[in-house]
Amino acid sequence: MSFEEKNSEEGRQSQLPRTANPEPIASQGRQLTYLTGWRLHMTTFGLCIGLFLVNLEVTIVSTSSLAIANDLHSYDQLGWILTGYLITYTGFIMIWAKFSDYFGQKSSVIASSLIFVLFSGGCGAAQTITQLIVCRVFQGIGAAGGFALGILFFTGMVPKEKFPLYGAVLSSTVALANLAGPLLGGALSKNSQWRWVFLLNVPVSLFSIIILLFSIPTGFPYHNQTASSPTFTWPTVNTLVASYKKIDYLGAGMLLFGSLLLSAGLLESGKTWEWRSAPAICILVIAGVLFIAFFAWERLVSSDRWTQEPMFPWKFVHNRVWMGVLLSSLLNGLPFFVLVIFVPQRLETVHGESPVQAGIKILPYTLVAAVGAVIASLIVSTGRIAPIYIMLFFSALGAVGTGLLTTITSTEYIPNEFYGYLTLIGLGIGGTWGLTVPFVGHAVDQMDVSSACGALIQFRILGGALGIAIMSATMETYLRQQLPSTLSPVQLSAILKSTTAISLLPPELQAHVIEVFAQGYSLQLKIVTGFSVAQFLAITMIWRNPQIMFAERKKKENIGS
């Protein structure tokens, strides 16, 4: 018995079905049909556009966020411009993936794209920081569906042996967005043109929607079943009602509000209120209780006594390999999003680089991340080396790179080593992330693919949201601790509203403030290094004997045959 067969058999034996047919209603009695020909190519193209845009929306703000915050006189709210998007991006990924079981993958991906388009336009039209943050929150809801459903589509479009190839396509698309984001964000930050950061999504997303409407078959991935097929039945009112009853609304709500409160507590503590104050403690405690309640509820809902289908099946907890993949995804997302956001900010604030120059100087990181994902996928596609060894190697590269980056303390110039360290980090993060997606088809059962895809992306974006919140709070607290001794309350308040206020200070104060900012960014990197090391340890959970392989080893043909 092969490892995959053994793993699948263990998964079936470890948890008895709660009903005679444990599959979602949308897929009961139906078989997957893979896409071919023009439908496969056009659907892949349309999905890649969507994946590109929702990931671009994170990195494009990395070099434009400072201009946005300064233009709206809200530097102290900069963290919310980033995290407001990631909170709902995090909270709705598993929800979209699970809802697609009942409302169809095609209709779900179209609906999420329309939400993304609508509120992208709202962000571009925002006149105040509050309006922008609100629109960013709703924009994140649509983006969550675009990302989660994009990956879910790939698992139903092609057979498992093609997962490494399409995993490379997916990872390259995400990495390309990470590459283009800082450059576009920097270019569009000039002369208060930052609104185009959001408005450009509208026509491109509409183009993607049109492609998907025509290329995705109705009923995908079960579109081989027609009204004349004996196993096909059109959904009735009773069937739809039964579907609604199976949705885990409570679990989705606890996950969303837990993410919201945790991010809010981390962002506002040390700024709006002290860390030891009652509001800070209450919000963080409530967030912790919600996460504990979420997992307790998911365990309860996973039992035979409940009709709801859990957002996070409890069998995942007993699947050590899959938990290792999820923890690796979470700890991969944290350094990735933190570096792509705060490295450009350091270049602009400490070294006086323009947004465009900052975007160019971070290319060794974003460009090599794409290369790392492709290299890792190509290596495992040969079937010669198990994915875990490749993941451990790339993870080690990332940890070493972040550790070395903390040694750069100069505020006067950017040493050449800076680019080498960014290259190491890019290879490490890209190569590790590129191999997590194919595990969906090898570490969980087919009936859990939707939940697994949602959880995989959910953990990564949650890591990013928590990372940005932690680093924003770290910088805010550090500035408030170090600057009051040399700056007046008015000067400190002005700098926390807009970093352009640094140029209004006397030269000796400017040098001191820039030095404090540099120390704050170094402190952030030290924290990131700790999380990078933790990711290496999380990957060891994937260890099995025999190891999971994504492809069979290609045999050499005999010369005489």
d(C-alpha 31, C-alpha 10), whole Å: 23
d(C-alpha 95, C-alpha 113), whole Å: 15
Residue 545 tokens, joined: 């004997």
pLDDT at 482 (0 to 100): 87
pLDDT at 206 (0 to 100): 93
Tens digits of residue pLDDT in 356-382: 788 788 888 877 887 887 788 788 877
Tens digits of residue pLDDT in 488-535: 888 888 887 777 788 888 888 888 888 888 898 899 999 999 999 999
Are 106 and 271 in contact by the 8 Å Cβ rule? The answer is no
pLDDT tops 70 at residue 486: yes
The CB-based long-range contact list for 241-247 (8 Å cut-off, 24+ gap) reads 242/25, 243/25, 243/26, 243/102, 244/102, 245/307, 245/308, 246/24, 246/25, 246/102, 246/307, 246/308, 246/309, 247/98, 247/99, 247/102, 247/308, 247/309
Tens digits of residue pLDDT in 392-404: 999 999 999 999 9
Q: Which of 272-276, 282-286, 423-427, 462-466 has the lowest mean pLDDT?
A: 272-276
Contacts of 385 (CB under 8 A, 6+ apart): 379
Kindly provide the residue ranges of all beta strands, DSSP E only, lying in 60-208, ordered along the sequence. Answer: none
Q: How confident is the model at residue 203 (pLDDT cuts 50, 70, 90)?
A: very high
Contacts of 253 (CB under 8 A, 6+ apart): none
pLDDT at 119 (0 to 100): 93
Q: Which of 99-113, 213-227, 351-365 has the lowest mean pLDDT?
A: 213-227
Mean pLDDT (whole number) for 76-87? 72
Q: % helix / strand / coil in the chain, to the nearest 5? A: 75, 0, 25
Provide the phi-psi class of 270: left if phi over 0, else alpha when psi is between -120 and 50, else beta: left
Neighbours of 193 (CB within 10 A): 13
Are 462 and 92 in contact by the 8 Å Cβ rule? The answer is no
Task: Please give the model's pTM, rounded to 2 decimal places.
Answer: 0.71
pLDDT at 336 (0 to 100): 85
pLDDT tops 60 at residue 127: yes
Mean pLDDT (whole number) for 341-355? 84
Mean pLDDT score of the chain:
78
Is 247 strand, coil or helix? strand
d(C-alpha 501, C-alpha 418), whole Å: 27
Mean pLDDT (whole number) for 287-299? 90
pLDDT at 229 (0 to 100): 42
How wide is the angle at C-alpha 366 spanned by C-alphas 362 and 369, nearest 5°? 140
Beta bridge partners of 309: 247
Tens digits of residue pLDDT in 228-273: 444 434 445 555 555 566 777 788 788 878 877 877 777 666 566 6
Q: Which of 153-167, 299-313, 433-447, 540-554 has the lowest mean pLDDT?
A: 153-167
pLDDT tops 60 at residue 42: yes
pLDDT tops 80 at residue 323: yes
